[in-house]
Amino acid sequence: MTTPLLGQMMDVPLNVSSLVRHAARYAGDTEIVSRRVEGDIHRYTYRDCEKRAKQLAQALIRLGVSPGERIGTLAWNGYRHLEAYYGVTGFGAVCHTINPRLFPEQIAFIINHADDSYVLFDTTFAALVDVVAPQCPKVKGWIALADEAHIPALATPVLSYETLLAAEDGDFEWPVLDERCASNLCYTSGTTGNPKGALYSHRSSVLHAYGASLPDALGLSARDAVLPVVPMFHVNAWGIPHAVALTGAKLVLPGKDLDGKSLHDLMETERVTFSAGVPTVWMCLLQYVRETGKRFSTLERTVIGGSACPPAMLREFEDVYGVRVIHAWGMTEMSPLGTLVRLNWEQSQRPLEERRQLMEKQGAVICGVDMKIVGADGQELPRDGVAFGDLHVRGPWVIDRYFRSEASPLVDGWFPTGDVATIDRDGFLHITDRSKDVIKSGGEWISSIDVENVAIAHPAVAEAACIACAHPKWTERPLLVVVKREGENVTREALLAFYEGKVAKWWIPDDVVFVEQLPHTATGKLQKLKLREMFRDHVLPAEIAGAA
């Protein structure tokens, strides 16, 4: 056997700290603007950010934190949280972002499971800390992301972040870490069972940042001003805090005010070109601009993901406001980016309606991720845009196993996403459902997402959820639960008639129920499990339109 000829390039490990170091050196004057919980607007640069991240690293080391220890955060999108992203990971500790919108018991479970030694928190979460702290006896200290003057009265003893930083000089070299070391820890939101931890490595985070920045992915550049609405406590804000440093883009962090007016004001004053968030957030923003007659003067593109982007939303952004929507799909277990919609040269020449249909899908993978769909027998299904099955993925930023869990979730080396999808010959992914949400009618599957999208296109509908209702003959039939737009009206019959010609006849819901609001998870997704419980005893009308 011949010995392989090794390459002769530098063996520089991929470390997260290299991103902020790069930004500080080569985009040193570029601004990071934050709306603080204190109420004002804070501005500084990547150079300042790296210095303070180093001060944080020094402060944590002084507190006795060792590499590998987990440091929790309960914080909005803001500059101090960004410092934690770099300061904690930079010396080898693990930045564990916690979703403050979860129930306190879940938060305590997550902190204990992760074994966080310190938790950094925004002062808005002071009351939450007082509830959670007694349940987390192993946490050595709670650090308020504030100066002494802004720390509210708490029962829990707390340290001041600013006081800790003030004691350090920032004269610190980022150590070179093994790129396989853990950098960040994120828990899934636990829509099914207890939350599970995805432990990213320095290598996976840096590769994800490169992949995310590609022109056909987020497509970020130093010409952009980026406002991530997606929270930094939800899957690392889709990797944006890393990708902006890598590209040297201006960063605008909205803090806790995520209502339409606050977001629009910040987008306009900071001349934001790029944003990202889940559909629920954009629903509020669109309602605000619709009602006030406002426009977007600088916003060019926005990434919508986390749940399916309703086609009606895509059209409104593009047709009315001239903002390009990039529909994206991913999950916590994938760091999270998997696919994004990008049309290649040939697809861009197709007629508008065909282009639209492609853009409503979840898009093509970022090079690095591979995907396939499999049937119940585990065999791969054709990539013909028709066959749908369980979606499996693999790649260097896809999870291998959950934190502190021995059992491997992989099937033949692939991660089963729990999503049901088609893949077409262009490689475009179309998510039809979560496997647990799919509606099984007479042995066939109905895509709840497609049924919802039709309803949302109706002018009187603000939000819609389609769930399975038990049926003696067909096993399950679709029930549509609808929230009307304020001041608008539509009847059950009119809404059902609206489906004619838009979906297969047997996909038309059997019944419509109007409600004041729909339940959402902590990450703004429809809580279908809860909805199914709410409507468990719902009786469908005897005459089944769709089953005829």
Q: Binding to ligand ADP by residue 188, rule CB under 6 A?
A: yes
Name the one range near ligand ADP by CB under 6 A: 35-43, 86-94, 208-216, 328-336.
Answer: 328-336
Task: Look up 247 and say whether it is catalytic.
Answer: no
Active site residue 188: yes
**The only residue of 78, 211, 306, 478 in contact with ligand ADP, by rule CB under 6 A:** 306
Rounded to a whole number of angstroms, the minimum distance from the CB of residue 481 to ligand ADP is: 18
Active site (annotated) includes residue 473: no
Strands 158-160 and 141-144: parallel
**333 an active-site residue?**
yes
Tell me how far apart the alpha carbons of residues 327 and 34 are, in angstroms, rounded to a whole number.
26
Residue 261: phi and psi, rounded to 5, are: -65, -45
Q: How far apart are the first and last CA of the chain?
A: 68
Q: Which of 73, 97, 123, 188 is catalytic?
A: 188
C-alpha to C-alpha distance for 402 and 118, rounded to whole angstroms = 22
Rounded Cα–Cα distance for residues 174 and 161 (Å): 20
Is residue 189 a contact point for ligand ADP (CB under 6 A)? yes
Lay out the site mask for ligand ADP across 404-433 (x = CB under 6 A, - = otherwise).
-------------xxx-----------x--
Count of positions on this chain that bind ligand ADP (CB under 6 A): 23
Residues 471 to 530: which contact ligand ADP by CB under 6 A? 523, 525
Q: Shortest distance, CB of residue 333 to ligand ADP, whole angstroms? A: 7
Residue list 355-374, contact with ligand ADP (CB under 6 A): 362
CB of 398 or CB of 431, closer to ligand ADP: 431
**Which DSSP letter does residue 255 get?**
B
Q: Output the 3-class SS for 391-416.
A: EEEECCCCCCCCCCCCCCCCECCEEE
Report how far Cα 53 is from the mean position of its chain's Cα atoms: 24
Could you write out the DSSP letters of every residue in 359-403? HHS-BEEPTT-EEEEE-TTSPBPPSSSS--EEEEEESTTS-SS-T
Taking alpha carbons only, the member of 53, 39, 34, 197 closest to residue 114 is 197
Q: Which of residues 217-256 bind ligand ADP (CB under 6 A)?
A: 235
Q: Which of 45, 280, 300, 445 is catalytic?
A: 445
Tokens of 184: 């960040």
**Stretch of residues binding ligand ADP (CB under 6 A), selected from 110-118, 306-314, 352-360, 438-446:** 306-314
Q: How far is the CB of 472 from ligand ADP (least distance, A)?
A: 30
For residue 48, give the nearest of 215, 213, 165, 175 by alpha carbon: 165
Catalytic residue numbers, as ranges = 188, 333, 440, 445
Binding residues for ligand ADP, rule: CB under 6 A, are 188-189, 191, 235, 305-308, 327-332, 336, 362, 417-419, 431, 434, 523, 525
